Every structure is written in C-alpha cells, then in structure tokens.
Structure 1
C-alpha cells in the first residue's frame, strides 16, 4: 500500500500524538515500568481507561490523563485509532470509553444537582486513575472518596506528586472537589466499608456511588455483596448508584478476566432495594454524545434487537452489550415494579 493510501484525512479532532515531557522523567518512567511488569489485567485497565480519556480529549477534559495512562497505553490506543480511521471503521477504538466517561460525568452532575445545595459524598470504587476530583467543578461541595488497592493508590500518588513538581503540570492539580480522601481497600474483602468509614465516610449523608468499569472484574458473589452493601444505604439516606454492567455474552470476550454479568440489571437492582432504576445502552439519547451517527455501527445494531437475544440473528455473533445504569433510593421509598 502506498504512503498516499496510508495517509489519514486531515482532521483537527485527531492530531498527531505528542507525548508530554513529564512521561520521560525518571520517576514517571520507573512507575510506568512497574505497572507494565507487575500489574495484572485488572490493575492495568486503569491506565487503559486513562488513555481513552487522554486521546478523546476533544470531548473529555482530563489534563492528567496522559500522565496517568503512560506512554505504552497511549501509543497502543493511538495506533488502533489511526488504523480505524484509515479503514473508515464504523466504531473508532476508544469510543466506548469516551461515551462511558461522558455518561458517568453527566449523570454524576445531574445527581448532585438533585440534592439540596449539591452537598453529597461521592465514593468511587475501583477508582484507578480516575481524576474527576481534579476536573469536575460540579464536585465543589462534595467530599470525594477514592477506593482502590493500596498499590494502585500509591502509584497514583507518586505520579501526581511528579506533576506537582513540574511547573507546567502544577496548574492541573487544583482540587475541584471540596475534599479528596484515598482509601486503600479491596472491595472483594468484607472490611472495605469499615475502612471507608474510618477514613471519614458518613453513612447517613447523601451519597453517590460510582462503579465505572469495575463490577465485571469481580466474581458473582463479590459483585452481589458490593451491590447489596450499597443498596442497604437506601434505608439511611438518599443514595445514587452509577454503574456499568456487562451482559452474559460480553464476559465471553475474556472469560479469564471478566466474571460478573447481568442481562437484566434493571430487574436486579430493585430486588436489592433501589426504588428507581434507569438503564441505557451506548447509542441511546442519553448515551450518544454525538458519536453514534452511523445507524449500522455495532451499538445501534444491538439497540434494535431484543435484549433477550444472546446472538445476532443475521450473523450469529454474540450480542455483547454494556449497560449504563443509574439507580437510586432513599428512606420511605416505594419500590417500583
């Protein structure tokens, strides 16, 4: 194929990849080398998510995403995006991450606006390289708690400290939330809620729970226990859950990594104690963000099919769905059928 055939169309949306100088400092290089050599797929997914936010920067404002993603994941995703654009793919790599991030951002802001004076606790389980506390101004009256493995939080702290010591990056480290507390805990264990409370979490205060890209890495019993623990808070205070769920077909993509699934989370969550549940699929009006124009892309094709189908009737391929779910509950609530 000639260079001309390989050339990308001019598009300011996708500039050439320029890695920030901070990624090439000794400290940051050493940290990301540790991630690549020692972290398992679950932990590394945090950097992959950050890479998606960094490369879809024309839609997602996350100035820290490059630093948190690292050179390897930025370069890998950039090459996939480049290939997709050359091939005029209906779905460009990373679009799921972009839509998912924008959906969580918008629902988080809407949930905060529903509370009096926007005061609430925001708990991000499996926070990974999430930087919402630094980039979302809607959190200005909220106490944010990031919960993750000790090694993840330590690496994240080291990377952010490296940015603090660099004049060019220091401006991006202004905290937008009222406060930020990092809680070293494994949500697969039974003591994570206790550790959260020791760190200042108040069960009686309005709380938004953010579970982005985490549930399907848990086993069925572990995920159900986490969801039940959150649902129990509906009896104490106004509680909002924002989470994404894979269906059964999706976990077959990598059965060694993905475990928990729910084909009907909008039925599951009311059975646990949530009174209102709204489910969206990528491409729905509230999960579109101008990125799903092609009616024949994967997501729009799936939306036209009954959710009960596990395989596409046209070609037999698995119907892999990602459900974006908002659930809420409060004392004296009425569970809707």
Structure 2
C-alpha cells in the first residue's frame, strides 16, 4: 500500500458523518442551549463525547455523537485532519481514546474481581458518559451517574429523543442492570447523602469511577471526595478508578485545572486505599495499539523518572496523566 493510500485509509476511520437526527431542529436547539448556558467544566462533557464519537473505530458508543453535538464534532474533526496532514506524532483525541479504553477494561476487571453477586458502579462527574448503553459487563450492576442537575436533565432529554428516533442502526439498549441519575455537586457536603437517598447501598461492593474530573476540583474538595470513597473500604470490597494530573499538567490551564498529585500511589494509601497501581499512557496496560511511535510525547515521558518536571531535551513541562486503580477491603484499611 502506498503511503498516501494508507493516509487516506486512516482518515476514513475518522470520517465525520452527521446523522439526520443530529442535524434535526430538535437536537440542534438542545445543543444551542448547551453552548449558551453551560460553563467550561460542563462543556468538557460534550468534548469528551465528541472524542468517543470520532474514535468510533475502537470505541463503539451508540450515542456519543448525539451527546457531543455538531459543534464539538466538527471542531475535533478539523483538529484531527490538521494532525494527519502535518504527520503529527499524537493525533487529537488519542489521550481520550486510551483513557476511555483503560477505564472500560478496568471497570470490567474490577467487576470480575467481585466474584458475582449484586454490585454498584458510581460515575462521579458522569457528564455525557454512555457506558450504561455500551458495556455488557454492567449487566449485573446498578449504575449511579452523579453530576449537575441541568447536565443530567439535558442528557436524559437527548437520550430520550435518541431512543424515540426511528433508526434501527442506532437502536438504544440499556446494557446495565439499572441506571439512576443523581443530581448533585460533588464539591458539596451532601452529595453522598443524595446518592444514598437515590438507592446507593453502603456496604455493597462498589466500583467508583472518577474519569476526567478530579483535576477540575480544588485540592480540598478532591481530597475530601477521595476520603469519602475510602470510607467505603471499611465496609466492603471497594475499587477506585481515577485519572490524576501531575503538577506540570495543571499549567496547561491555570484557570481550569487545580488539583494535582505527582505521586497518587503515595497519596491514596494515606486515605485508606491499598493495592494502588499507577499507569501512564503508553504503558502495556494503557496502550491499546495506539502508541506505536517511540518518539511520541507519552513514550518520551515514560522513559523519564516521574520526579522530573521539565524535559531535559527541550525544557518543556513534563505533563503527565496517571491512570490509577486502587482498592480496599475492611481488613486492609488504615486506621
């Protein structure tokens, strides 16, 4: 195959096809209100959905495009085209793709470690996540999605419209045993109380998922959320899945990113977790066939000690994203 033919084939994988439903007046009006009323944190949910929609050759999300909206799909598609034309070592959205696949695979392995029985999966800062419609491993799980009231309401409205749209190729089927949306701000003291009032049962085996959310919180709020989850370890087998930025990564946006941890494997045991495993994008369990180039940003960082904050080759900040799996059992928690 000629190089230009291979490039064409790769661009076809990222082809942007906007469905009639996505372009309908109903959906466009809903996303117009999103773009006018939501803040940057809430809008990041649409950006995440756009990434999953355009990396559809490895992430099979039936409603990601509807949840993303036309604006964010077109914006990311333009970035991908520019990256391909310039032969960029990292294609826009690849971090999101790897992160999504890592969380998917670790949710499944965590549920398998529970050895059957009823369990719960809590998505904190769930955003436009649609795992309950695409992950078969959730078939025995009661899933709770926690996020801002207006975000969850808009998400429910979009999903309801999608479910009623007559398109057999995009049939919407719930894969989880159940899904409950909990309107709460995890920066507030009462989010756990609201979760419990919605049916969450303390003491039942639980996977807590914090994907793309911790670094938007203040240090005090982030640690408090982690402590609240760690308290569950004193009751039952508990698994935490989360991504952490290091300090250098927060410099990407001083106004947006706040919480960081250069050593989450040191922090989490002090809060009550055990068996902490930290991965970086490009590691064997965080690769998924997308990190072949040894000179891409992520592989270059993996070859440096985690303590180094600036790259010795060019002086740029070593911006790292840690993918962390931690667990706890009643008999293993720290007093």
TM-score range, shorter chain: over 0.9
Q: For residues 97 and 119 of structure 1, what CA distance do their matches in structure 2 show?
A: 30
Match of 1:204 in 2: 203
SS of 1:204 mapped into structure 2: coil
TM-score of the superposition, structure 1-length normalised? 0.95
| Cα-Cα RMSD | 1.5
- Which residues of 2 match residues 169-248 of structure 1 at below 5 A? 172-248=171-247
| Range with bigger deviation, 90-99 or 326-335 | 326-335
- Aligned CA distance change for structure 1 residues 334 and 188 (closer, same or farther; 3 Å): closer
| CA drift at 1:38 | 1.4
- Aligned CA distance change for structure 1 residues 214 and 15 (closer, same or farther; 3 Å): closer
- After TM superposition, which residue ranges in structure 1, 4 or more long, deviate above 3 angstroms? 169-172
- Which residues of 2 match residues 1-337 of structure 1 at below 5 A? 9-11=7-9, 13-117=12-116, 119-168=118-167, 172-333=171-332
Q: Unaligned stretches of 5+ in structure 1? A: 1-5
Would the aligned equivalents of 1:120 and 1:206 in 2 still touch at CA under 8 Å? yes
Q: Unaligned stretches of 5+ in structure 2? A: none
Would the aligned equivalents of 1:283 and 1:300 in 2 still touch at CA under 8 Å? yes
Would the aligned equivalents of 1:134 and 1:172 in 2 still touch at CA under 8 Å? no
Q: For residues 146 and 188 of structure 1, what CA distance do their matches in structure 2 show?
A: 15
Q: For residues 9 and 131 of structure 1, what CA distance do their matches in structure 2 show?
A: 30
Q: For residues 109 and 185 of structure 2, what CA distance do their matches in structure 1 show?
A: 28
SS of 2:21 mapped into structure 1: helix
Would the aligned equivalents of 1:64 and 1:172 in 2 still touch at CA under 8 Å? no
| CA drift at 1:172 | 3.2
- Aligned CA distance change for structure 1 residues 328 and 306 (closer, same or farther; 3 Å): same
Would the aligned equivalents of 1:112 and 1:118 in 2 still touch at CA under 8 Å? no
- Per-residue displacement from partner, 1:115-162 (whole Å, max 9, x unpaired)? 121631000000000000110000000000000000000110110111
| Range with bigger deviation, 158-167 or 72-81 | 158-167
Q: How many residues align?
A: 330
| CA drift at 1:9 | 2.7
- Per-residue displacement from partner, 1:255-297 (whole Å, max 9, x unpaired)? 1000000000010000100111000000000000000000000
Would the aligned equivalents of 1:241 and 1:328 in 2 still touch at CA under 8 Å? yes
Would the aligned equivalents of 2:22 and 2:70 in 1 still touch at CA under 8 Å? yes
| CA drift at 1:14 | 2.2
SS of 1:124 mapped into structure 2: strand
- Per-residue displacement from partner, 1:17-58 (whole Å, max 9, x unpaired)? 111111122221111111111111100000000000000000
SS of 1:117 mapped into structure 2: coil
SS of 1:22 mapped into structure 2: coil
Q: For residues 171 and 276 of structure 2, what CA distance do their matches in structure 1 show?
A: 35
Q: For residues 169 and 133 of structure 1, what CA distance do their matches in structure 2 show?
A: 19
TM-score of the superposition, structure 2-length normalised? 0.96
Q: For residues 278 and 323 of structure 2, what CA distance do their matches in structure 1 show?
A: 6
Q: For residues 248 and 270 of structure 1, what CA distance do their matches in structure 2 show?
A: 20
Would the aligned equivalents of 1:147 and 1:183 in 2 still touch at CA under 8 Å? yes
SS of 2:153 mapped into structure 1: helix
Would the aligned equivalents of 1:266 and 1:277 in 2 still touch at CA under 8 Å? yes
